[in-house]
Copies of this chain bind each other. A is one copy, B any other.
């Protein structure tokens, strides 16, 4: 049982961790830290947290389990704050969508080596709504959580973080840091960039031609992730651009392939291309249904 759970960043992700931890009886007290007083106020009103601090050091000073659940761009400043109150016996983890950038920020703050009791982690879950108001206690049920421990990570800390997520219903696995950032760039970051780009492009045109009134359910689902929090996705794109930019280039090449097929009237090849995509998606569907 965790005595004092400290959540830094009480938005959708952090708020859902607080609610799930409470629902599963994983801790006695939940301390929230956020630089937005409004978020803290709402989190207390909703009963997601017990105590609220604007100052991260105040919040983390007495905690024995600390989760950083902010946009990844904030991690550098947070590690700097935490350094002065870091407790060797506490457990620290994060919920950032990119892992190399978070580890780099920790290295810098701690003078070269990431503390052994910090376990980098990423719950592969979310919603296009953001903020504490969207937080729910079952956000992580059945979802993957990827932990990317380093060579010096304490096995006990790793086990504690793994058990924490498992208790909230998540399926925990471990992965190499760079492999994580490469895989998620493909399955998550690239689709988000694409959705933003498409909606940005069509939105400009809609202002003049009102084309959105003729968009249907396919468009709604395809663009759902373009309603995601822009700050969070800015941070992810900047933090993981080394992996994302080659994928955007590759996608542009694939679009050229399709353009060539259209130009040259190569119907059979385009049919095979679409069929191959449909089969690949069926493989994905079979996978998530058998999870």
Instruction: Let me know if B280 and A203 touch, CB within 8 A.
Output: yes
Cα of A46 to Cα of B238 in the assembled complex, Å: 54
Contact of A144 among B193, B214, B233, B255 (CB under 8 A): B214
The docked-state distance in angstroms from the alpha carbon of A219 to that of B275 is: 18
Task: Give the complex CA separation of A287 and B213 in angstroms.
Answer: 7
Q: Which of A164-212 contact B (CB under 8 A)?
A: 183-184, 186-188, 190-206, 209, 211-212
Q: Is A234 an interface residue (CB 8 A)?
A: yes
Chain B's closest residue to A215 (CB) is B187
Chain A interface size range = 35 or more
| Most chain B beta-carbon contacts within 10 A, residue among A191, A248, A263, A282 | A191
Asked if residues B255 and A251 are in contact (CB atoms below 8 Å), the reply is yes
- A66-96 at interface with B (beta carbon < 8 Å): none
A223:B281 contact, CB within 8 angstroms: yes
Contacts of A220 in B (CB 8 A): 284-285, 288
Please tell me if A99 contacts chain B, counting CB pairs below 8 Å: no
Tell me how far the C-beta of A218 lies from the nearest C-beta in chain B, rounded to whole angstroms: 4
Whether a CB of chain B sits under 8 angstroms from the CB of A110 is no
Q: Does A51 contact B (CB under 8 A)?
A: no
B252 and A255 within 8 A (CB): yes
Contact B241 A262 (CB under 8 A): yes
**0/1 string, A219-259, CB within 8 A of B gives 1:** 11111111110110110011001001100111110111011
Q: Is A267 an interface residue (CB 8 A)?
A: yes
Indicate with 1 or 0, residue by residue over A265-289, a CB within 8 angstroms of chain B CB atoms.
Answer: 1010011011111111111110110
Interface check A216, CB cutoff 8 A: yes
Given contacts A222-B224, A255-B252, contact A206 B144 (CB under 8 A): no
A-B contact pairs, 9 of them (CB 8 A): A126-B218, A188-B214, A190-B198, A194-B194, A203-B281, A206-B283, A220-B288, A222-B222, A227-B285
A interface residues, Cβ below 8 angstroms from B: 124-128, 143-144, 146, 183-184, 186-188, 190-206, 209, 211-228, 230-231, 233-234, 237-238, 241, 244-245, 248-252, 254-256, 258-259, 262-263, 265, 267, 270-271, 273-285, 287-288
| Chain A to chain B: the 4 pairs with minimum beta-carbon distance, closest first | A203-B280, A230-B274, A187-B215, A200-B277
